[in-house]
Chains A and B, each alone.
Chain A
């Protein structure tokens, strides 16, 4: 049986996204405590009791290096028929959704909780400090980053994304006007999203170009602002939960691709995993890129979106600048893109960042948005990016 046909029996039952706050305004909270609160909130959205959850997909948690799903399940008081762990950074939201749909479609679970805490936990050990400081680069013995990168000061996302941007500039030019227009478009879209951290704070292209160069050529306003937040969603059986008077959300094409963790090892640094994932996802869906109503592309940096537009095939490699200057990315524009402001407008709550793209897609498909509803939205392409263009995925979602 075709896997996608089996998804006829599966739907998103509820979503919950915590309104982001500035990191300084968020008291350190253990990830288990965050997960408990997020679970309560998403169950409230669904109107379902805790006892209905019989599946779980989560990320590694700070409080327990091993056995995260069973630790979370125990903390929530659940007896689980299905549990899974994903660890792909900003690609986690889509990776979770895919695994949850498979679990329900295959009968392993009736209701899967997918939960991503997005607040900073208490920092109590040197390992916690290193995790915060070095992020995706492990400082532990035996890790190639600990041995070959960290001693030279090479860590964090900024440097590696700057390397990608330098390569892009060297080959195709890094067009200031296009990059700043892209950032401003995200900020404009965020003015229609009351939950966005930059709601009520518009921006001009001049502001972007006048912002500090953090690592050449990337400027401060081309980078997402870290915030505290987080979110959760429930994937469940339509046989058990009905359609809740909402349009059903179905993945019709999904693919993920993983490549060099440190992208400078890649002989062509712009040979991104997303290029492959997007092509496979569209092929599975039998969709052409131009047939899609909206695009929610992972946007930790402007360069990520710029590459993403090319990776998914809206334009060829090297042509994003012209494409950006030629198009309108608002919800009524020629190419509706990150219509809720993306993460550049909403803020990035750590690993929960990818939920911004996913939840906007779901809301658009269900025609639930007042101020920024795309008039006819039946298909949305969503992408995720983890690490530094190292783990990427693409999912085409349709409603019907």
Chain B
């Protein structure tokens, strides 16, 4: 993945964006294998996203990444003022397990989406990094 800079954001070469920590690195590397991995608490079974060392449900530290297999329901659709060239919109997507995340939508795909509808999980490359998206 691209650590040092994000080509589509003009923040200089030393950008801290998209730079993974030791906890989040597994999330990003799994995406490169077209797998969306979400942390699940081994004590209370809560799905935790974004990745972190502590379960936000029960405070336990026993979080394990598990591959997510399911759909994404569109909660919101927004057009940011500044995005990558092949991206026209972002959605707030809800996974079947309740996790909510941002997902980039390619220029070709945006007009077909409907709020409240559930779509399949896919992956979209931006500047060498894969992100979850909908299809």
> Which of A's residues lie within 8 Å of B, judged by CB?
126, 130, 139-144, 146-156, 159, 162-163, 166-167, 170, 215-216, 264-267, 269
Residues of chain B with a CB closer than 8 A to A163's CB: 75-76, 78, 92
* A101 to B24 Cα, complex, angstroms: 43
**CB-CB under 8 A for A152 and B80, given A139-B16, A264-B92:** yes
B19 near A152: Cβ-Cβ < 8 Å: no
A264 near B16: Cβ-Cβ < 8 Å: no
* A141 to B82 Cα, complex, angstroms: 21
Q: Identify which of B7-15, B35-43, B63-71 touches chain A.
A: B7-15
Residues of chain A with a CB closer than 8 A to B101's CB: 148
Task: Tally inter-chain residue pairs, CB-CB below 8 A.
Answer: 94
* A372 to B101 Cα, complex, angstroms: 46
A140 near B16: Cβ-Cβ < 8 Å: yes
Name the residue on A nearest B116 (C-beta).
A170
A139 near B92: Cβ-Cβ < 8 Å: no
Cβ-neighbour of A149 out of B8, B84, B102 (below 8 A): B102
Residues of chain B with a CB closer than 8 A to A269's CB: 75
CB distance from B63 to the nearest CB of A (A): 15
Residues of chain B with a CB closer than 8 A to A148's CB: 50, 101-102
> Which of B's residues lie within 8 Å of A, judged by CB?
6, 8-9, 11-12, 14-21, 24, 49-50, 75-84, 87, 90, 92, 98, 100-102, 104, 115-116, 126, 129, 131
Residues of chain B with a CB closer than 8 A to A149's CB: 102
A216 near B78: Cβ-Cβ < 8 Å: yes
CB distance from A79 to the nearest CB of B (A): 39
Name the residue on B nearest A148 (C-beta).
B50
A142 near B21: Cβ-Cβ < 8 Å: yes
CB distance from A311 to the nearest CB of B (A): 20
* A271 to B9 Cα, complex, angstroms: 33
B11 near A153: Cβ-Cβ < 8 Å: no
Q: List 6 A-B contacts (CB under 8 A).
A: A139-B17, A141-B19, A148-B50, A151-B129, A162-B76, A162-B78
**CB-CB under 8 A for A267 and B17, given A153-B87, A159-B78:** no
